[in-house]
Structure 1
């Protein structure tokens, strides 16, 4: 087999690996649950040990009542809290912007198209669910110190419940506390549920750049697991465990409900209406004697998938930045990239320096590969002569090629095997650059955001146009010219088309990822040019001595 054919195989295998890795990151097993009692509103969890398997086929069982909101402003959030249930109905991240420069809207109840709210409720006796009305002392709250407390009160003849949100400066963890006073003469058996309501379509990425949005959970037994909304359509998920969190993850951002470590809980995810899903946790609080008060504190993480913020919030939450099966390579790569960025203050420069560092690390392997290809380039005219001499006699052609390789001490696999060793690192870095929220909104030269495609020249139809993909195509074309030309005309034409084919994908890739590939190609071209000249000089010297 010719080296060029092997190179084609490696390139296309690499592309398939990327596609397969992207696909398997979206897949996850689903656990089934049994059927129990029916409930009138499927958005309210059952207080039994297992969730209901009843999945309504319409929106009749799910409604979000519209009432005046309590507005909360902190150093990190703009939040709207509904009097109904004390739900968080709207949440903006002030330090992260959308495409128009406004605060990033992470949660909303307007379903246009985003539906994403955080709900909590109580089960048992006359305790309030997320559909009952709370009162607040004020209509708006503003953080002026290191902490902001927002209390909401529900009271009837049997109970008084205070639901308190506690916000801390510079923290994406919101403390949610329930104080339950039993005013009745009877003992109350109480449970609490904390859940997210999310639609099944928003934040799923594009056809060219799909991304996962769905349920994720973590516990010490099962570790990190993702649950796609499509899978929950078929079977609701339920897991009784003594630890762990559950939440909604999407590209760059995450929300998670975190319970005290000693609390037994049931994690669940189910369909509550057409294209609407509930994912949360249910815990038994125990009995509340007459005249007694019970306190329960949980935490809500809502924010960017920053490694530091995730690690500080809960064990295992840092897995929300999902690098798939190459996490063991990707995580150290991100640590190095982040360390470089802290020194140079710019993510674009950090990507360039990391690319140079990786290139130096793999220099011996790359040199061996380029040396093999340069040797093949030198004998290419002789191979072409053999092809013309033997015509369609492939057996004699193969024998003559093997004899030539043996005489010239050429390893026909030498150009590909070193590349295969580097592929896992390339894939890992691909996911690092694709999933790092730190690159979101990060500028570099004329690029305002390294996490989106380069579109300096605007958009043609639906294709963003920018210099980086065009330079990438040019670098690939130049690199192909440095390689030995295939003796097969069909392979030669295919190799010439590859820069165009790959450029189509690079137009849709984030600019930070294209920047990495461009710098890597430029360095590869320089190294390959040097090796080619060296091998060519050795060949001329050999001929002169012959």
Structure 2
């Protein structure tokens, strides 16, 4: 490897690692959005798709049913307001009473929050009668009966009786029992298909963000394992699912089967615009005992509040996409408790994030100190590195590298130490990327010109949609980009232009890199932009303190000179690198000798 004149090796490694990861994040989410757009573009604009965006009214679902024949029953508690339709015996409306939905007309969260309404959810059990005709309970007309907190729906089909019994329990749970009598005379099937078609309603401000968080979620292996699918076809032919749900950004509709769903499949389709974000169609099988359909289920209509989800002990807390493994642990065990603790002091959400940023910076300050000390040490020994580069300019690149490493070794500089700050900040960045748009306590919390810290701020409207930016400019995203640029200028001031042909101009790359943050943050949660604005502003302050108050270049120079006088023992990494270089050098000499012969 050739040494880039005037460029610290540690800075190259740190920058490369951070760039690869952050660009990877940006590419992943932008590519995800592009794939969804390609799928939408490839879909034919048939009447069926148009009807999917604007669901048909109940009178068109079954032409034999008149509007007067459809009856609606109601149940409610402090959390839910439910309606049940006699057509199909289904839950036809679910309103969460403690939450509101975003209204684009008023730019406020002032609408009733309905997970289910206007036929966006349609479910039923499907089987065949003995003549081979397909029967679906969605097409049957049930007779409702209300008693206390229970609605019983009863339908008759060829002398068979099918009952759906709904009981509204505490909070967000609806007990759902299916009972049949005489069905064995009608069908020979031993299994029934559970068909659930669901259209996700747009409830939040950030459509693209909410759409990307809308997906299938399900548990299996006796609630021990969890999986999800947000883009592809769902295929689980071999697993018995304990429950299956449609997750949105902050809410989820879930159905649990006491005996499980088998042969599960699902399809997804994104909508470019309109009231709905996605169409998710699910099909799974449930057992019929003695050709009778007698199964127990539970419906859950949940806000994705971690504390609430854990109380069910059914792996619901995994629905909340806080990240896997260590990332998820950071959010659950560190960021959420820290936010809740600070918020309990009565501080508004924006200032809670401000204090969180300061706490994180204090924790990372020893690492930052080492980073800036290393940078100062590299600045002091740069003349020696430049001298070595000039001395071995026309020599074997391997000799130049060996000379450079020897300077590092004598000065007591560990080049790999520059990677540590970047490596530490990678999981923090990703954890916060998951935290801000998924933490329900931040939903609807405004700060300055951001009306909701889980969505973008759009005070600056654009006259048209700009690729990757949208139809607005986020002030928080702009402010964050400017601060990152200032920080980059301050930290890259010692970089020299590359003197060898073909070497990239790292200064230019480092200045371009912050600009990409504007495209990334412009449609992201404003809480994330605010956090990184504060974080980088603190970085700038820390640089001033460390550079002009704590670190003394004269003392560092004296320390390096003292290090040179001390006998140095090779570390394992340095020894391995030296041996590899010597081996490569010997091989090169052997090749040259063979050429001469």
Pairwise TM-score range, normalised by the shorter structure: 0.7 to 0.9
Q: Secondary structure at the match of 2:102?
A: coil
- Give ranges in structure 1 of 5+ residues lacking alignment: 27-56, 111-115, 142-146
For residues 9-62 of structure 1, the C-alpha deviation after alignment (integer angstroms, 9 at most, x for no partner) is 022122145357769999xxxxxxxxxxxxxxxxxxxxxxxxxxxxxx9969x9
Q: TM-score, structure 1 length as denominator?
A: 0.75
Cα distance in 1 for residues equivalent to 2:554 and 2:269:
73
Aligned to 1:12: 19
* C-alpha spacing 1:78/1:264, structure 2 compared with 1 (3 Å): closer
Equivalent residue number for residue 529 of structure 1: 544
Report the more deviating stretch, 12-21 or 197-206: 197-206
Task: Label 1:439 to 1:470 Cα distance change in 2 as closer, same or farther (>3 A).
Answer: same
**Partner residue in 2 for 1:30:** none
SS at match of 2:226: strand
8 Å contact from structure 1 (residues 237, 268) kept in 2:
yes
Q: What do residues 246-293 of structure 1 show as CA deviations (whole Å, max 9, x unaligned)? A: 122232222211122xx254251245999965325432242389xxxx
Aligned 8 A contact 1:301 1:313 in 2: no
SS in 1 for 2:538: helix
Match of 1:252 in 2: 250
- Secondary structure in structure 2 of the residue aligned to 1:153: strand
Aligned ranges for residues 244-283 of structure 1 at < 5 Å?
244-260=242-258, 263-266=259-262, 268-270=264-266, 277-283=280-286
Correspondent of 2:84 among 81, 85, 106: 81
- 410, 413, 416: which one aligns with 1:413: 416
Task: Verify the 8 A CA contact 2:101 2:203 in the aligned structure 1.
Answer: no
Instruction: Map 1:170-189; keep pairs closer than 5 Å.
Output: 171-182=171-182
Q: Does 1:431 find its partner at 2:439?
A: no
Q: Which residue of 1 aligns with 2:345?
A: 344
Alpha-carbon deviation of 1:338? Answer: 4.9
1:130-145 matched pairs, under 5 angstroms: 130-136=138-144
Pairs within 5 Å for 1:407-486: 407-459=410-462, 461=464, 462-485=470-493, 486=495
Superposition deviation, residue 134 in structure 1: 1.0
1:184 to 1:6, Cα distance in 2 relative to 1, 3 A: closer
Structure 2 counterpart of 1:104: 113
Alpha-carbon spacing, 1:383–1:119, altered in 2? closer, same or farther (3 Å): same
State the partner residue of 1:198: 198
Query: 1:209–1:189: structure 2 CA closer, same or farther, 3 Å change rule?
Result: closer
Deviations 1:326-347 (A, max 9, x none): 3344332354245325523544
**Partner of 2:375 in structure 1?**
373
Query: 2:220 & 2:30 partners in 1: Cα distance?
Result: 24
The CA deviation at 1:218 is: 0.9
Secondary structure of residue in 2 paired with 1:339: helix
Separation in structure 2 between the aligned mates of residue 186 and residue 158 of structure 1, nearest angstrom? 8
Counterpart position of 1:158 = 159
SS at match of 1:99: strand
Please list the CA deviations of residues 185-209 of structure 1 after superposition, one character each: whole Å capped at 9, or x if unmatched: 8999775654431359989987788
Question: Equivalences for 1:511-530 in 2 at 5 Å?
Answer: 511-530=526-545
Correspondence for 1:129: 137
Check 1:283–1:377 CA distance in 2 against 1; reply closer, same or farther (3 A cut). same
1:100-137 C-alpha deviation (Å, 9 max, x unpaired): 12123433456xxxxx4142336576997221001235
Mapped contact 1:178–1:297 kept (Cα < 8 A): yes
Q: Distance in 2 between matches of 1:518 and 1:340?
A: 22
Distance 1:201 1:404, change over 3 A: farther
Alpha-carbon distance between aligned partners in 2 of 1:12 and 1:404, rounded to the nearest angstrom: 28
Q: Flag the 1:288–1:201 CA change in 2: closer, same or farther, 3 A.
A: closer
Residue equivalent to 1:353: 355
Structure of higher CA gyration radius: 2
Contact 1:473–1:503 under 8 Å retained in 2: yes
CA distance in structure 2 between the aligned counterparts of 1:264 and 1:207, rounded to whole angstroms = 33
CA distance in 2, matches of 1:212, 1:502: 21
Q: Matched residues in 2 for 1:448 and 1:272: separation?
A: 31
Determine the C-alpha separation between the residues in 2 that align with 1:524 and 1:324.
26
Query: Cα 1:387–1:255, aligned 2, differ >3 Å: closer, same or farther?
Result: same
Distance 1:535 1:369, change over 3 A: same
Q: Distance in 2 between matches of 1:93 and 1:201?
A: 14
Q: Which of 81, 93, 96 lines up with 2:96 in the alignment?
A: 93
State the partner residue of 2:328. Answer: 327
Closer, same or farther: CA 273–12 of 1 in aligned 2, 3 Å? closer
Distance 1:327 1:534, change over 3 A: same
Q: Aligned pair in 2 of structure 1 residues 189, 502: CA closer, same or farther (>3 Å)?
A: closer
Q: CA RMSD in A?
A: 4.4
Deviation at 1:299, TM superposition (A): 0.7
- Structure 2: which 5+ runs fail to align? 34-45, 60-66, 104-109, 271-277, 465-469, 499-504, 562-597
Normalising by structure 2, report the TM-score. Answer: 0.69
State the distance in 1 between where 2:211 and 2:281 align.
Answer: 22
